[in-house]
Amino acid sequence: MGVVNVTPDSFSDGGRWFEADAAAEHGRALAAAGADLLDVGGESTRPGSARPSAEEELARVLPVVTALASDGLVVSVDTMRAEVARAALVAGARVVNDVSGGLADPRMPEVVAASGVPFVVMHWRGLLSDPHEQPHYEDVTGEVCRELTARVEVLLAAGVGEDQLVLDPGFGFSKDAAHNWELLGGLAQVVALGLPVVVGTSRKRFLGRLPQRTGAAPLTDAEPTPPTARDAATAATSLLAAQAGAWAVRVHEVGPTLDALAVWEQTQRWRRAR
């Protein structure tokens, strides 16, 4: 899944693709590099960023979804608004990706249920209410699994089909670096819930604080590397995600992840050949 952020303020690619034409061109480049799915989003979830109005979000997202879908590319829309999801589906999107897991907009479940498309249900406790939230978990992986299961039950009761549901543990959302590392190590538990799983670690802050890069211990407040310097670490997390059984990884740069997956694939092939 290649990331197409049509936002002026996303942490990871800082507004580079804010113009619709540039964003569509970027989406085409990600597809040409091997992305199977293009995730188009018009709202930054960066802590403290102001929400765009629904009109503004629609104006950002729709031209890009239309352009990419009319090229025959498979598009998901990254939105917490039912209205934006509905309009994007009409414009040709084939997947809805909601970082609130359907919590932010009470009308989201009915839009998703009526469309029958895959729905990515991400784990996030905080929504946009408190950018400085201090997440607390006794057992992050277990709690994420339980909270995702609770979302699934609500969505099924609202008429969303089980075959539509895709889970995402929500790296960096209501989670600090230690939580992210523990969750990455425990990803197989999320996969064991039995639904397809998306993993979105790409360029996230915890990957910018690897000790050999910052010269500090992993969980300190050392100055992180810039987001664009985190693609090798992202390729490594993509490989771990694939090995744990993830269905998709959401990445900004497709090449390094495909290389990492190809390395694993080759070893599997030779092992099978023996």
What CA–CA distance (Å, rounded) separates 215 from 212? 5
What CA–CA distance (Å, rounded) separates 120 from 97? 5
Nearer to ligand PMM, 66 or 97 (CB): 97
Contact letters for ligand PMM, residues 80-99 (x by CB under 6 A): -----------------x-x
What CA–CA distance (Å, rounded) separates 104 from 127? 7
Whether 24 and 73 have beta carbons less than 8 Å apart is answered as: no
204 in active site: yes
Q: Which of residues 181-210 bind ligand PMM (CB under 6 A)?
A: 198, 200, 203
3-state secondary structure at position 184 = helix
Contact letters for ligand PMM, residues 231-260 (x by CB under 6 A): -------------------x----------
Check residue 261 for interaction with ligand PMM (CB under 6 A): no
Contact letters for ligand PMM, residues 19-48 (x by CB under 6 A): --------------------------x---
From the list 28, 125, 204, 230, the catalytic residue is 204
Non-local (6+) Cβ contacts of 226 within 8 A are 208
Nearer to ligand PMM, 18 or 216 (CB): 18
Nearer to ligand PMM, 211 or 245 (CB): 245
CB of 193 to ligand PMM, least distance (A): 16
Single out the segment in contact with ligand PMM by CB under 6 A; choices: 7-15, 22-30, 152-160, 217-225: 7-15
Q: Taking Cα atoms as reference points, which of 224, 178, 226, 233 lies closest to residue 201?
A: 233
What CA–CA distance (Å, rounded) separates 241 from 259? 14
What CA–CA distance (Å, rounded) separates 158 from 156? 5
The two three-digit tokens of residue 41, written as one number: 């989003």
**Catalytic sites, residue numbers:** 204, 250
